[in-house]
Amino acid sequence: MAKMQAPESLLGESVYLAHEAANNGKYLMRVIDAHEDGRPTKDGIEPINGFSAECEVVGGVNDGKKFNLTLYNGKLTAKDGGKMAIQKQFAFLVATDVCTPSQLGTEFEYDPVSSVNSFFVVELELGKETDDGKRYLDLKYSNIYHVDDPRAKLKYDPAQQAKLATIAAANRHTAEYFASLAAPRKQVEKSKADKPLDLDDL
C-alpha cells in the first residue's frame, strides 16, 4: 500500500506575478530581456510604439516570478500630451543606467536592450478594469527607481543585498546623483542656467 500527500490543486502554477491586489507594492526586479518597438505575447513579439522589458522579481515571497513591463511612447493626443508616458520611459532608463538624470530636458538616443541584467525597483498596482472585466498589475505612475535612489524606499534583505553587490561600481550612485529627479522643474531649469558657460557650447 503506497502513501502520498495530495497536491493542493491540479492546476499548474504560473511563472508570472499574479494580477491580484495582494501583489500591489514595490519590488526589486532584474531585466532579463528587452524589446525595442515590441512586447512579448503568447504568439511572439507584438509590434508597439514604445519598448518593453521582461523582468523577474528578486527576493520576497514572489522571488523568481516574471513580470512584463510595457512602456509606450507619448502621444500628443493624450490628455497630458504624452507627458506621463515619456516620464515612465525616462524613469526606467535612469533606473537601469541606460541614461542619466542629467539628461532631463534633453534629446538623446538610447537602446532599451542595454537595460538587460540591470536591477531596479518598481511599484505596481492593479489598474482599472478593462473591457474584458479584468484588472491587471501595472506600473503605478512613473514609480521606477534605481536601486540606489533614496526615493525607492525599499529595505533590501540579505539575499537581495548579495545580488546588488554584483552591480558594477560604475553603476552605483550617491543620493546626490538623483537629486534633480526629485527637484521641481523650475529648480532644475535654474541649475542648468547657473551652470558656467562651456566653450564647447559656443
Distance CA 136, CA 129 (A): 8
pLDDT, tens digit, for every residue of 75-115? 999 999 999 999 999 999 999 999 999 999 999 999 999 99
For residue 12, tell me if it sits in a domain: no
For residue 122, tell me if it sits in a domain: yes
For residue 11, tell me if it sits in a domain: no
Q: Is the pLDDT of residue 196 over 60?
A: no
For residue 185, tell me if it sits in a domain: yes
Mean pLDDT of 124-128: 94
For residue 61, tell me if it sits in a domain: yes
Mean pLDDT of 166-185: 92
For residue 2, tell me if it sits in a domain: no
Cell, residue 27: 519590488
* SS percent in the chain: helix, strand, coil, step 5: 30, 30, 45
122: containing domain: 21-190
Distance CA 1, CA 31 (A): 49
pLDDT of residue 3: 83
pLDDT of residue 170: 97
For residue 6, tell me if it sits in a domain: no
For residue 148, tell me if it sits in a domain: yes
Percent of residues, the chain, with pLDDT higher than 90: 78
pLDDT, tens digit, for every residue of 25-75? 999 999 999 999 999 998 999 999 999 999 999 999 999 999 999 999 999
Q: Are 87 and 101 in contact (CB under 8 A)?
A: no
How many structural domains compose the chain? 1
